Amino acid sequence: MVLIKKSEKFFKRNLPTVPLRDLIIFPQMVVPLLVGRPRSLNAVEEALTDEGYIVIVFQKEPQIEEPTPDDIYPVGVIAKIIQSVKEPSGVMKILVEVLERVKVKEFVGNKKYFFAKVERVKEEVSKDKETEALMRFVMDLLNKYVNLNTTVPKELVSTISVIEEPGKFCDTVAGYLPLKIKDKAKIIMTLNIKERLKVLIEILNTEVGVLEVQKKIHDRVIKKIEETQKQYFLHEQLKQIEKELGKEESSEVAQLREKIKKAKMPKNVEEKALEELSRFSKMMPMSPEATVVRTYLEWLINLPWNNSTEDNLDISHAKKILDEDHYGLEKVKERILEYLAVRKRTDALRGPILCFVGPPGVGKTSLGKSIARALGRKFVRVSLGGIRDEAEIRGHRRTYIGSLPGRIIQSIRKAGVNNPVFLLDEIDKIGKDFRGDPASALLEVLDPEQNNTFSDHYLEVEFDLSKVLFITTANTEFTIPPPLLDRMEIISLPGYTMWEKKEIARHFLIPKQMKEHGLTEKNIKFSDEAIFKIIKNYTREAGVRNLEREIANICRKVTKKIVETGKEGPYSITAKNIEKYLGPEKFTSLEVKREFKVGVSTGMAWTEYGGEIMFTEVLTMKGKGNLILTGQLGEVMKESAQAALSYVRAHAEELGISPDFYKDTDIHIHVPEGAIPKDGPSAGITIVSALASCLSGKPVDTGIAMTGEITLQGKILKIGGLKSKILAAHRAGIRRVIIPKENEKDLSEIPKKIKEEMEIITVEEIKEVLEKVILNGKEKK
């Protein structure tokens, strides 16, 4: 053992100290170190000014930059710096000779460097029988370790075997083996030599056990690889022997070749399939790559390249089926019959791309099924709601394990024909993220000029989609990307009138629910008044989905009553007894009473769920001319309110309002039902009417509903969703509405019965509106 030939006074003084992280060194080692931390660099320079002696301590956690006494192990080493080189980067390379262990009595850091007070550790040099036995045990384990770990040089065993001194022997083994830092820390801190040897034995024993398990795993893997290689060589030899003997190809390859010929693929697709088949024939049947190629060939074979259903071009038959399945919807039916008429005259017509836009429950999805039935085609449906990955449309490339074609090709294969009616549901709810934009992938699918050469990433060959009749559905067209919207023919399906709902219930919903609940006309009868009451007081929707649920609810209760009592009925459902089946009314009859209020006007709004009646309220209070807007209004609606206020200020005198009202008055505009977000410019004339009424003190006729966008010049611009808005006003009992003059042509869409019951006033300027709705001291007729 090398000891420092210094007096005890040397150890009592503060010695410069370097804390090491991720490294533990032992006595008798000569080790190169990189010193980079400022305090450590200063400690090295301080040591070099003296005799080069330095204390090295070891950190418990390597990530700590400024260690405290609690962050270091209580045992370190004293070393002598043999060489030092400072690099341009500021880092210093030093070569140290580790001399002996020391106990760290005190570890302190000043602004310049760390220093420590240490105490020498006295080690017994002599060895007894137990020590000898422990050293031999270590040598046995070391031999096993070196044989199992190929990264450790075998010469290390012979070097260590000649060391007689127990302490040096133990430290050399621990210092030169690639042990864990925590294991080395246990050894450096064990001061008793016998105990240190026992700790080393325990660590080596664990390491040898892990290496033996690792070797077993490695041997098994190598054996499996050798077996696979052996099978491959035998397979190749067998193929060569069969070739020399003139034998035919394997039965699986022959079967696939026959299927490819029968699939009637286009020439370029067949060439691609035969090329892949040639690759497949040279592969090992059980290899992963062979499985991928086999799956690919099966997809090509099973696609309906030339399988088509023959269209039923009988227009009267198609009209009959469409009328059987759906009430109303004349525009859609007319478009389908036009398509059939043109197809009857020419085969060159490509399938149209139709987009049904309307609120939930109006029959968009079921209409797709009816069209397929009328044409005599197969029907497939794909829901696009929430799709965010482009691969859902175009498929994954075959480089990925488990890759598949996109939903378009999957659905075509499922249909078994290349001309189904293909419904893409909820196209307005497609998302996008880092995986791509599915809406952009649909641009090719829904373009009649391009979809005859649709390319799926998985197939890598073109597939003709031009014979497919694509139908898409959406609740609103505003969230559909413009390029995609441009490729589709928009057909609006607005909400049903009360009479249309009654007819749908009478001819479609009631018979359907009676059949599903095992009832006949002898068991249950619905009066027209009962149906109207369900529509008015138990549902509030543009479609008929909830209406069907309420009818099903009544049918269930009647079925239960029949089963319990044994009485077959008939049970009559009337407006008077309907509460026995459905409970209290869910909605009070939505009827707007004609009142004359200051600062309150009645507007009409459109949502993706249909039309709604919307009130606008205005209050004034003392203030500084602030405009307060509440009711969850969107940016466009807020701008409408600003425009309305600007118009009223500009025409204050004409409206009988003080021109200086804004100087000491705050205005609060509120649209009730604040939990529901609202937006759009069509509330402009409603806001102007409420503002003018509140500021002039003249009441507004709330029995008149209005809609229209305003300009600063007082012009009234065209709005959308007119039919839904007028239907909502009619449901609410309003019989006078004001609409923009530009929307007059849209009145053709309004049912005749509604127009007969309502007075529809068209206006071009806001002055005309104010003359109609603001009362000048007397009620207007």
Beta-bridge partner residues of 700: 597, 774
The secondary structure of 301-340 as a DSSP string is HHS-SS--PPP---HHHHHHHHHHH-SS-HHHHHHHHHHH
User: 618 has which bridge partners?
Assistant: 669
**DSSP E strand boundaries for 87-192:** 92-109, 114-120
Determine if residue 420 is left, alpha or beta; phi over 0 gives left, psi from -120 to 50 gives alpha, anything else beta: beta
Active site residue 111: no
How far, rounded to the nearest angstrom, does the alpha carbon of residue 101 sit from its chain's CA centroid?
60
- 44 φ, ψ (degrees, to nearest 5): -65, -45
Are 316 and 380 within 8 A, CB to CB?
Answer: no
Residue 638 annotated in active site: no
CA–CA dist 441, 12 (Å, integer): 79
CB atoms within 10 A of CB 382: 18
- What is the Cα–Cα distance from 529 to 535, expressed in whole angstroms? 10
- Tell me, what amino acid is at 525? K
* Whole-angstrom distance, CA of residue 602 vs CA of residue 339: 43
Cα–Cα distances (Å) from 49 to 52, 96, 118, in that order, read 7, 16, 20
- CA distance linking residue 563 with residue 547, whole number of Å: 25
Between CA 428 and CA 491 the distance in angstroms is 14
Residue 773, token pair as written in the block: 């709705």
Three-class SS state of 134: helix
β strands within 391-516, DSSP E: 421-425, 454-455, 462-463, 469-474, 489-492
CA atoms within 13 A on the CB side of 685: 34
Q: What angle do CA 683, 684, 687 make, to 5 degrees?
A: 85
Going from the C-alpha of 535 to that of each of 51, 503, 544, 551, 606, the distances in angstroms are 102, 12, 9, 10, 19
CA distances from 98 to 31, 66, 107, 228 (A): 8, 24, 19, 53
Residue indicated by tokens 């700790």:
199
Cβ neighbors of 499 (< 8 A, separation 6 or more) are: 751, 753
Alpha-helical (H) ranges within 633-717 are 635-650, 684-696
Residue 300's identity, in one-letter code, is L
Reduced to 3 states (helix: H, G, I; strand: E, B; else coil), residue 40 is helix
DSSP-derived 3-state class of residue 344? helix
Q: Are 522 and 562 in contact (CB under 8 A)?
A: no
SS3 label, residue 715: strand
| Choice among 40, 682, 696, 724 that is catalytic | 682
DSSP tag of 661: G
**For the residues of 538-555, what is the DSSP string, one character each?**
T---SSSHHHHHHHHHHH
Q: Which two tokens stand for residue 485?
A: 């919207």
Please give the structure tokens belonging to residue 128.
């007894």
CA distance 144 to 150: 11
For residue 692, give both structure tokens. 């003018």
Residue numbers annotated as active site: 682, 725
